[in-house]
Structure 1
C-alpha cells in the first residue's frame, strides 16, 4: 500500500526556512522587499520540500492572476513576418520571468478580437496589458485601463491618450540620424518611405528626418515622400513609386528595415546600384539588416530593452506603484548600404 504524504504548504516552507509566513510568501511571489539571506533560505526550503505554489488558491486570495498580456494590434501574419515584435517579446518575457509573472500573447486584428480581449481582461485573467503597434486613436487600450487593468504602450500615443504611460525609442532623433547618414554620403536629393500614417512612430521619424535635412539646406518635396506599411512588399512598391516621381533621388530613408530591404530589391530590379547610385538607410536593426545585400545601414532601437522596460513598468503598476513614460536612446549602425 502506498502511503501518501500531505503536500507541503507555505507554512511548512516558512517553518523550514525559519522565517515568517509573510516573508516566505514575498519570496515565492518575486517581491524584492526581502533580504538576500531570507530569499536564499526560503528558496532552499521550497526546493527541499518540493513546494509548488497553488496558483488558483493564491489568485483567489490576492485577486491577482500573475499574468500579463502582450497585445499586438496587427494580424498574426504581420506579427510573425516582422522580427520587431519577437525582439520586444523576448525582452518582455525575460522581465516577466524575473518577477515570476506569466506572459500571454494576444493578437487583436478584428473587432471580435478586441471584444474578446476586453471580456478576458474584465474577468480578472490578467494583471496588466502592454500594447504594441497601436494605430491612430484606437480606444482599446483606454477601455482596458478603465476596467482597472494597468496599461503600458509601446510608442508615444496620440495627444488625447497621453495619460497612458509608454516606452518609446527617440524616433525624432532616429530620423535625424538617418538624414545625417545620407548627407554624409553626399546625398543632395534624398527621399523617404514612411510607415503607416496613423502611427506616431511614422510622424516622429519623418519630423526628425525633415528637420535635419533642412539644417543642411536640403528640401524634402512631396514627390520624395512615399507611404509604406512596415512590410517588405510595401517598401518595394513605395520605391517603385519614388523612382517614378523622384527621378533625381540619390538616397532613401525607409522607416523600418523590412521596407528598406524591399526598396533595395526594387532598386536592384531597375539595375540601380546600392549605394553607388542610391544610398539606403533603414530603422530597427533587426537581424535581416546585417544579412541584406548589401548589409543595411540602419538606426538601431533597443527592442529587447523596450520589452523589458514595458514589463517592469506594468508589474510596478499592478503592484500598486507608479510608472512614468520612458524614451530610449537610438544609435546609427553603419554598414555598406549608405
Structure 2
C-alpha cells in the first residue's frame, strides 16, 4: 500500500497561503507580479506539499495539451535514441511534455494510432522520423495535407515537401568523403548503401559518385550484420576494389570485420569509410574515417521548429533546416596499395 501523500491542488495551496487561486496561478506562471513575501510563502508550500497542474483543466481552457509527440522507427536504436534525446531537451526547455512512439518501421496501424492522438489533441504536434519505407503511408499523406503541425526529422520525404524538415547536409558530407579517398590515389570503389528510397541514401550516393562515378552500389539495412554479409558477397563474386564507402558506420564496421576474416588489412589493402560518427567509430581499431552528423541537434531543431509553429498557430512560413556535417579522418583510410 502506498502511504505517500498526494500533491496538493492549486485550491489547497491557495487556502493554506491565505490567497486567491488567481494569485497562486500568477506565482506559478510569472505572467503577473506577485508581492515577494506572498510568492515566497506560496513557493514554500509547493516545495513542502508538492503541486501537480490539472492537465485536463488546462486543455479545456487553452485547447492544447502542452504535449508533443515523436514517432521514430525503433526507439531502441542508438541513432534514433539520440534524436529522441534532442527532442526531449527542447521540449523540456519550453515546458512541453513528450510522448515517444515507435512505429516499427512505419507500421500503418501504429502510425494511425499516433496520428489520431494529433487529431484529438492528445498531443499538440508531432516530430516524425521516416523509416525504411520509400513511400509515406496514406495516413501521413492525409495528415500532411491538413496541414497538421508535423515536422520531419532526419529524412526529407519528396511527397511531403510542404512540411518543414531538419536534416544533415548528406550530399556535401559524402562528397568530402569521396574527395578524401580519391586524394589517396584510389580509383576502384564500392558503395554499401542504405535503403534505396531514403533521401539520405540518394544524397550520399550522389556525393560519393562525384569522385567515383563508376562505383558499384549494393544496398543494406544500416546494421552491422548487413555490412558484414554484403562484404562477403562482394568478395565471393571477386569484385575488384580498394575502397569501401558504407552509408553508415554500423555497416562500415561490419564490412571491416569481414575483410579482417579474409586476411585483408584496413587500410593497407582496403580503405573503409562510414557516415554518422557513432560512439563505436572512435574505439574500433583502426579508428573509422567517417562524417560526423549531430543527431542530438537534429532532434533539438526539429522540436524547436514544431514549438515555433505551435506558438504562431501555423506551420506555414517555417523554413526547413540543413545542419552542417564534418569529415573526421581516422585510421581506416590510407594510400592505395601498389
Q: TM-score range by the shorter chain?
A: 0.7 to 0.9
2:44 counterpart of 1:48: yes
Map of 1:1-338 to 2, 5 A cutoff?
6-8=11-13, 12=20, 15=23, 27=30, 47-50=43-46, 51-72=51-72, 74=73, 76=74, 79-80=75-76, 82-109=77-104, 110-134=107-131, 135-139=133-137, 140-146=139-145, 149-211=148-210, 213=211, 218-221=212-215, 224-245=216-237, 247-319=239-311, 320=313, 322=315, 323-338=318-333
Task: Say whether the 8 Å CA contact 2:149–2:314 is kept in structure 1.
Answer: no
Moved more, 148-157 or 279-288: 148-157
Structure 2, unaligned runs of 5 or more = 1-7, 334-338
Give 1:128 deviation, angstroms. 0.7
- How far the C-alpha of 1:241 sits from its partner, in A, is 2.4
Residue 245 of structure 1 deviates from its aligned partner by 4.4
Measure how far apart 1:185 and its partner are.
3.0
Q: Distance in 1 between matches of 2:37 and 2:108?
A: 49
Shift, 1:65, TM fit: 1.1
Q: 1:287 & 1:169 partners in 2: Cα distance?
A: 18
Q: CA deviation at 1:47?
A: 2.8
CA RMSD of aligned residues (A): 2.8
Q: Is the 8 A contact 1:94 1:308 kept in 2?
A: yes
- 1:13–1:42 contact (8 Å) kept in structure 2: no
C-alpha offsets along residues 267-323 of structure 1, whole Å, 9 cap, x if unaligned?
111111111111111111111111223221110011111100001111111222542
Q: CA deviation at 1:162?
A: 0.5
Mark the CA change 1:85 to 1:67 in structure 2 (over 3 Å): closer, same or farther: same
Note the residue ranges of structure 1 that are not aligned, 5 or more in a row.
Answer: 28-33
TM-score, normalised to structure 2, is: 0.82
Higher mean alpha-carbon deviation, 293-302 vs 313-322, is at: 313-322
